[in-house]
């Protein structure tokens, strides 16, 4: 009788090691998928993820990118896993571009509801300087709460003068664009010196009024003249009612009227949050969503947007 040698199959010690080597790819992929999911479904979670992707994502992606590159250089070749890690790391780093070159926040016009359709916030002929869905027409689109915000000027403008009364918009009566309830009204912020960007990060809206509409969403009208705010929290306002006057308070470079529409009360989360919603205008001589923008001709800024004027009185 012969003695058979029975050899037990040994566990491959490399298998656990192989699994752990895929952790960077799995982690980065999960992070990107969570970001895409949160942004797709919008809301505050999407906004938090958007900001996190611009800071945390690039940091993690950069670490994995450097480590992987060192390994490839050391061994003078890369495995399929390492090349996949490099590709995913680069995707994680890409959002940092938005810190240096603003990107349109990924809310989409056709999917963002409810939209609001209101009258213009003043009776004067209003030059649309910022407005619309695209970055080239609207420098607000990178901010989630102001995704479809507008800035309106009144001629004369772009004078770069330091006297507020050299700007046509200064002191123009600002009216409620729709019936609603005032949820917040702030006054007595000083006007900034026009002709330069104030960079007021403490009170960027300056003097402003927030109106809650029947849709349970909010209109924010900002940069009002100090002492002009004529309503208070709890007041019911009717469309066309004067609520203040155009000023140059807050983060601004010259007197103008700012207006935007958002889902969440701006006093709960503040600037940069609140889920911006589409805003359209009616009863005027222009398109429902007028586009802005400007170009520089002979060292002069020339607006590209239309001048729109309210036509009907409710």
pLDDT digits (tens, 9 = 90+) for 66-109: 888 888 888 888 888 888 888 888 877 777 666 666 778 888 89
Domain regions of the chain by residue span: 14-99, 116-308
Dist. CA 274–CA 233, nearest whole Å: 19
Q: What is the pTM of this model?
A: 0.82
Residue pLDDT, tens place only, 142-194: 999 999 999 999 999 998 899 999 999 999 999 999 999 999 999 999 999 99
Q: Is the peptide bond before 114 cis (omega within 30 degrees of 0)?
A: yes
Q: Check whether 211 has a pLDDT greater than 60.
A: yes
Q: What is the structure's pLDDT at 284?
A: 96
Q: What is the structure's pLDDT at 7?
A: 47
| Residue from 89, 40, 42 nearest 69 by CA | 89
Q: Among the listed ranges 92-96, 163-167, 252-256, 271-275, which one has the minimum average pLDDT value?
A: 92-96
Q: What is the structure's pLDDT at 8?
A: 46
Q: Check whether 6 has a pLDDT greater than 50.
A: no
Give the burial string for 155-172 (b: 16+ CB within 10 Å, else e): eebbeeeeebebbbbbbb
Dist. CA 151–CA 222, nearest whole Å: 10
- What CATH number labels 116-308? 2.70.70.10
- Alpha-carbon distances of 285 from 102, 123, 279, rounded to whole Å: 31, 12, 16
């Amino acid at each position: 009788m012969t003695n058979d040698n029975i050899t037990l199959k040994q566990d491959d010690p490399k298998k656990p090691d192989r699994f752990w080597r895929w952790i960077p790819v799995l982690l980065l992929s999960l992070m990107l998928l969570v970001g895409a999911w949160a942004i797709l479904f919008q809301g505050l979670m999407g906004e938090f993820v958007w900001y996190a992707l611009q800071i945390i994502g690039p940091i993690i992606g950069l670490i994995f990118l450097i480590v992987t590159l060192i390994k490839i250089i050391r061994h003078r070749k890369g495995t399929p896993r390492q090349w996949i890690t490099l590709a995913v790391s680069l995707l994680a780093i890409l959002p940092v571009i938005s810190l240096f070159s603003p990107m349109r926040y990924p809310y989409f016009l056709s999917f963002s509801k409810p939209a609001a359709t209101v009258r213009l916030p003043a009776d004067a002929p209003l030059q649309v300087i910022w407005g619309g869905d695209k970055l080239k027409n609207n420098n607000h689109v990178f901010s989630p709460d102001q995704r479809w915000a507008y800035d309106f000027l009144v001629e004369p403008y772009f004078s770069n003068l330091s006297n507020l009364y050299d700007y046509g918009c200064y002191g123009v009566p600002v009216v409620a664009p729709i019936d609603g309830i005032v949820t917040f009204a702030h006054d007595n912020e000083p006007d900034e010196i026009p002709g330069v960007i104030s960079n007021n990060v403490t009170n960027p809206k300056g003097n402003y009024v927030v109106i809650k509409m029947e849709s349970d969403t909010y209109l924010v009208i900002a940069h009002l003249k100090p002492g002009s705010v004529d309503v208070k929290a709890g007041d019911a306002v009717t469309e066309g009612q004067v609520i203040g006057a155009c000023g140059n308070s807050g983060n601004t470079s010259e007197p103008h009227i700012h207006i935007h529409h958002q889902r969440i009360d701006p006093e709960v989360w503040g600037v940069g949050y609140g889920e911006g919603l589409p805003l359209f205008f009616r009863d005027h001589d222009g398109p429902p969503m007028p586009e802005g923008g400007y170009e520089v001709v002979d060292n002069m800024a020339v607006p590209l947007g239309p001048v729109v004027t309210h036509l009907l009185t409710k």
